[in-house]
Homo-oligomer: A and B are copies of this chain.
């Protein structure tokens, strides 16, 4: 047993899981995958849980189950507290694990750019718990509006602001537009949910800034068809429980809104900074650690950093985005490089194969860019659906998701709109006596 090469993987997201699978049953290698959660989360569909289209169990799969058939992989549910790169151990809350090669793939959290107080009033979307919190806030807001007598206060309950016009912001805003305009039709007696205001705020001059301008405009048009008000070139200056303050072309404006969702930025896991400090490596503004072309810490070839935690570039020097395909390809690459090294072979530097990107806006509406191809509408939506079902293949639940999507598509129903997590409700203020 002692001559086994010990690989420790920190994080069971796209990067860590694809690395683990590529090392599965590799001879001479013993893998320990450490994650503080016991499941792998298919994050691209997390917004569907936040907007009641899918249930948590549909987009998460137990890591032990996914990796069961690889007898050389041990899954450890534990919290990583730090690293000792000299002694080559990962520190855990209450223990440590030695490694010969370390793969760190702990991902990212949302970032409020120094305004951490906004987190309490404008939740972001990274975990199952975040998604259930957002779902709860959305549907409680309609409940509160139904009970509210004061027209101004009612309007604030019926105003939903999404901050950030990237893919997550666009998907959330589109789903909110669909919920207000279609899903909740006829559900209330005193309010008309279709009167709700759904606003998407983006700092750049168009939504989906990394996409070609034409697709951005198509996406905005699709959002507007769902009733979403898109405002670009808008800087958020303050958020509290009752309002969002924005600056637009020098003017300051207040939007009264009781529900604000944050989709404006992410920050690498704090483990990235720890690694950077331990190895004397640079950390960029988003908290990502700069790595070598082989995805190793500079001067530490046995420490590999992948996914959202690593600052990496394509051949033209443009930074790679924090998306699932990058993490998956990096996971497979580092696995191969470990196997190569053990076999005495060289591995060339990592190159990202950009297979395109796509964002969905609503029923039968999406935008996609695949190489030189750009398309939108129904076809892009079908492509989006196909790709996501393909990659969720780890899951028993592909069929379930397909059925729920088909059902939601034809009925505009979202059966998972449960308000859970707390038995109490907000105080009631009816004057029905």
Contacts and interface: CB of A to CB of B under 8 A. Distances in A.
B64 A187 contact: yes
Contacts of A58: 55
Interface string A84-109: 00000100111111100000000000
Contacts of A416: 56-57
Interface stretch (A199-207, A285-293, A339-347, A419-427): A419-427
B424 A36 contact: yes
B433 A89 contact: yes
A250 B190 CA distance: 63
A26 B427 CA distance: 30
B432 A65 contact: no
Interface stretch (A71-79, A212-220, A315-323): A71-79
A396 interface: yes
Interface stretch (A111-119, A297-305, A400-408): A400-408
Contact of A396 (B60, B187, B407): B407
A208 to B, nearest CB: 29
Nearest to A139: B38
Given A403-B400, A419-B37, A432 B61 contact: no
A292 to B, nearest CB: 28
A38 B184 CA distance: 13
Contacts of A143: 38, 77
A105 to B, nearest CB: 17
A433 B97 contact: yes
A60 B425 CA distance: 18
Report whether over half of chain A's contact residues are helix, strand or loop; otherwise say mixed. Answer: loop
A171 B416 CA distance: 25
B396 A129 contact: no
A188 interface: yes
Given A60-B418, A62-B417, A400-B404, A427 B93 contact: yes
Interface string A384-417: 0000000000011101100110010001010111
For the complex of A and B, 9 pairs with smallest distance between CB atoms: A57-B416, A55-B57, A55-B55, A64-B187, A94-B427, A78-B428, A95-B430, A94-B428, A74-B189
25 contacts: A37-B423, A38-B139, A39-B417, A39-B419, A54-B57, A56-B56, A56-B416, A56-B420, A64-B188, A65-B417, A68-B186, A74-B189, A76-B430, A89-B433, A93-B425, A93-B428, A94-B427, A95-B428, A95-B429, A96-B433, A129-B420, A129-B421, A396-B407, A399-B403, A400-B400
